[in-house]
Amino acid sequence: MVKRKLGALEKVEADLPNLQHKIRRDPKSYIEDFRAQHYQYESHREIYMAAPSSATDTGLISLRDLIDFISHVADCYPGICKDFPQQLIDMLMQHHLVLETELREKLVGSLVLLKKKDLLDSATLLHTLFPILISTPSKTLRALLFQKILSELRTANSKTTNHKLNRTMQTVLFNLVTSDRTSAKGLWAIKITRELWKRQIWTEAKAVEVMKEAALSQNEKVIIGGVRFFLGGDKEREELEDEDSEEEVNVGQVKHQLTINKKTRKKARAAEKAIKAVRNKERKKGNPSPLNFSALHLLHDPQGFAENMFFKHLQNGKSNLKLEQKLQVLQLISRLVGLHKLHIMPLYSYFQKFLTPRQPSVTSFLASLAQASHDLVPPDVLEPLVQKIANEFVSEASAGEVATAGLNAIREICVRQPLAIEETLLQDLVMYKKSKDKGVMMASKGLLSLYRDVGAQMLKKRDRGKEAAMSLRAGERQERRYGEQAVGEIEGLELLAKWKDEERRKKNIENGLPSDAEDNEEENDEADWAAWNVEDDEDSDVDGEWINVEDDVDIVLSDSEDEGKPASKKAKQEEEGKKDADKEAEAAKEIDFMKLATTRILTPADLAKLTELRAQAAANATLPGNKGRVAAPWTSRHTDDPLTAGEIEGLAALSAAKATREERIAHAKEGKTDRSEHMSKEARRKERKEEQGKSTTNKEKARKKNFLMTLGKARSKNKRSLVETRAVLRAHVDRGKRGGRRGNVGQ
């Protein structure tokens, strides 16, 4: 059959994409065609709606195509299409159960498209999609809807936070969670909230409230979803933020590549995008970073929440959570208790029955217990627990790991509430520092060094250590009573005060002024202090004047200063009266740096310097040559950070039984690639050559030559006459001179 030739005009197939393209370019001229297609859509819709479940394939395809077409060009004819979005919504809402999959997806996509074209507002869209999300049995549709809802919320919040929309959506989610506490539908609320929390689109208390209600639900999946959010949601958010900031775009490189590589429109666009991204980032840098509180801090009524959770999920005999889930709930409760210093007294007696080494995942229980203790928990509530841990875990007979975990747990409890342990028990436990097991020894030493800090008088005299013993004798250290709070101060303020003093001194010296000259009226009140401060510094080593405050103060202020100065030694050797004066001066200094905060307003520059100094001090403290004590691990922990079971287990690996020889060999071999038996280098080279099919050397050939073949020559050698032998030898010598059979090149 011969193909009929087509005219140019005939070739233009009258299809919808073509029409769509033309309408986009010139909507006015094609209005009649569009109207016809709209009627066509209307009739197809009518046909379809008459019997949604028994539609034919062709009808479906044409309906789908028409919906696609109309939603793409609907913005050109708002008058004709004013009912169109509502029709789609009706179709989807009423028939989403029986709709054919592709048509259903097309409907969802078209609605989103119409939203993009502003023919539909986002609240309506979300109110359409969300009920379907939670009611449809189709997995693919749910995935699609979830994705669309998320992206819709993200775009709605992209420019500015759309508070109104967020609030309505949060209310919807809240109602979903609270309306039916036994159903698993609350999971969708959790999923959406968590995702938006992660992307920092929702950071308000209302979102946290949704999760709170989820955690109090009766469906275990929902409970765990809510609990997990509180335990990990903030970390997830931080991680995502880090990821975002990590991707660096090197504009210079992009531009350079553009000059070298082939210039295409695609590459130009990529470069433009990169530049835009960088510009955006810079603009963002200028903005003040939003203060994002963690979900645990945004909780309204944490006491009520924690109590509710405890009585509902843990204390309640009817709750059917698994151990693992219970542990997660317990973790959350204990974190709340520790963070907000709540009082839930039954919680501590609840722990009692779990504190045995045979309890599965006991370290998590121990960690939770430690988390749940804070300095406002009455010591007599914690004391029996500590006693029980000591009895059950820490003994000579128990395994090293067990004792380590017990000691670590006791330490973690005592960090938070030093009064939780009795003196005798503490002294007992400290004795384990002599244990042969390394893990136990380390754990015990940890406990010891903690008590040197917080309650040295409870230790035996020989365990107190020099520093603690001296300060005890001086009466500096007082046992902190139950409920006593430390005076609040700005961390590192003394560093700033000291730095300021030094700066002023330097300036004065530069200007040739007497060091007590003041450049500022306001600082007049500080004049005396500054004056004798400098004098002191200048002639500190001249005489053994007893007012050698500066050096002493230095020691107190920053540990990094060396203590070996003769003046300070002298000062220490001074008699009691002098010491009193010393103390007075110190007190004066303390008051002075507090004055810095109370009398002056710290400028941002000051604050920046403060952080810098703090960082410097922290860095100095960790230097290896530093004599000062390295800060204990428990002081560096942030209150928001959770305590994990891993930390309780601690160095348990050290106290593990010695590995057998085979295990050690296996361990050593672990990292190494496998290799065959030992061989000489030569042999290996030969093997390789042979494998590659390459030839051998002459020597090798001679060695491998068949014995019988060599036999004739060997025999004939024996029968040679003297003359023949001579000729052979001569030829040999000659050959040697010539350089082999072939001779040297060039001869």
Partner 1 sequence: MGSSSKRKKDKQKDFQKPKLKVGKTKAKPDNYTDTSFKSKSIVLTQQSLHLAAPTSNATFTHNLSLLSAKSDSQRRDSLAYLTTSISSRPVNSPLPQPVSVILPSLLPLILDGATSVRTQLLKLLRTLPPGDVEDHVAQLLPYVRAGMTHLAADIRSSAVEILSWMVEAAGESTVSCAGGWIKTLNCFLSVLGWHTEESSQWSSSRASFGKSGSQGKPVVKTLGALAMFLDAGIGKPSVDGVDSEMSGDDESPDWPFPLCQTAQHMISDSSTPFAYLNLFGKPRDEEGEMYETREDRYRVFSTRFQPAIERGIKSAREEGGELGRASSGVSKVLKEAIAYGPGP
- How far, in Å, CA of 41 to CA of 70, rounded? 8
CA distances from 10 to 4, 6, 15, 618 (A): 12, 6, 12, 81
Whole-number minimum distance, CB 98 to partner 1, in Å?
16
**How many residues in the shown chain lie near partner 1 by CB under 8 A?**
32
Among residues 13, 71, 75, 77, the alpha carbon closest in space to that of 41 is found at 71
Whole-number minimum distance, CB 166 to partner 1, in Å?
35
Whole-number minimum distance, CB 128 to partner 1, in Å?
18
Among residues 169, 79, 183, 73, the alpha carbon closest in space to that of 126 is found at 169
Interaction pattern, residues 689-718, with partner 1; x per rule: CB under 8 A: -xx-x-------------------------
Residue 8 vs 397, nearer CB to partner 1: 8
Residue 95 vs 267, nearer CB to partner 1: 95
Contact (CB, 8 A) for 69 and 113: no
Task: Choose the stretch contacting partner 1; rule: CB under 8 A; options: 26-34, 185-193, 531-539, 639-647.
Answer: 26-34
Of 31, 454, 531, 547, the one binding partner 1 by CB under 8 A: 31
Residue 608 vs 679, nearer CB to partner 1: 679
Of 17, 24, 33, 360, the one binding partner 1 by CB under 8 A: 33
- How far, in Å, CA of 448 to CA of 451, rounded? 5
**Looking only at residues 152 through 171 of this chain, which bind partner 1 when binding is defined by CB under 8 A?**
none
Residue 91 vs 421, nearer CB to partner 1: 91
Contact (CB, 8 A) for 198 and 233: yes
Q: Is 380 helix (H, G, I), strand (E, B) or coil?
A: helix
Residue 467 vs 690, nearer CB to partner 1: 690
Residue 52 vs 379, nearer CB to partner 1: 52
Whole-number minimum distance, CB 3 to partner 1, in Å?
17
- How far, in Å, CA of 231 to CA of 194, rounded? 12
- How far, in Å, CA of 127 to CA of 355, rounded? 50
Of 10, 242, 246, 484, the one binding partner 1 by CB under 8 A: 10
Whole-number minimum distance, CB 674 to partner 1, in Å?
17
In this structure, what token pair is assigned to residue 552? 């002493």
Residue 35 corresponds to which amino acid?
Answer: R
Residue 66 vs 108, nearer CB to partner 1: 66
Interaction pattern, residues 673-692, with partner 1; x per rule: CB under 8 A: -----------------xx-
Whole-number minimum distance, CB 95 to partner 1, in Å?
12
Q: Is 30 in the site for partner 1 (CB under 8 A)?
A: yes
**Looking only at residues 41 through 60 of this chain, which bind partner 1 when binding is defined by CB under 8 A?**
42-44, 46-47, 49-50, 56, 58-59
Of 62, 136, 161, 178, the one binding partner 1 by CB under 8 A: 62
Of 3, 25, 32, 397, the one binding partner 1 by CB under 8 A: 32
Task: Choose the stretch contacting partner 1; rule: CB under 8 A; options: 14-22, 250-258, 343-351, 652-660.
Answer: 14-22
- How far, in Å, CA of 69 to CA of 97, rounded? 24
Among residues 41, 45, 69, the alpha carbon closest in space to that of 55 is found at 45
Ramachandran quadrant class, 492 (left: phi over 0; alpha: psi -120 to 50; beta: rest): left
- How far, in Å, CA of 177 to CA of 190, rounded? 9
- What distance lies between CA 685 and its chain's CA centroid? 51
Contact (CB, 8 A) for 212 and 226: yes
Residue 485 vs 692, nearer CB to partner 1: 692
Among residues 110, 114, 115, 152, the alpha carbon closest in space to that of 130 is found at 152
Residue 107 vs 497, nearer CB to partner 1: 107
Residue 62 vs 138, nearer CB to partner 1: 62
In this structure, what token pair is assigned to residue 228? 């997990």
- How far, in Å, CA of 431 to CA of 746, rounded? 91
Q: Is 230 in the site for partner 1 (CB under 8 A)?
A: no
Whole-number minimum distance, CB 688 to partner 1, in Å?
11
- What distance lies between CA 198 and its chain's CA centroid? 12
Residue 9 vs 605, nearer CB to partner 1: 9
Contact (CB, 8 A) for 548 and 540: yes
Quickly list H helices, 51-138. 57-73, 84-95, 101-116, 122-135
Residues contributing to the site for partner 1 (CB under 8 A): 9-10, 12, 14-16, 19, 22, 29-33, 35-37, 39-40, 42-44, 46-47, 49-50, 56, 58-59, 62, 690-691, 693
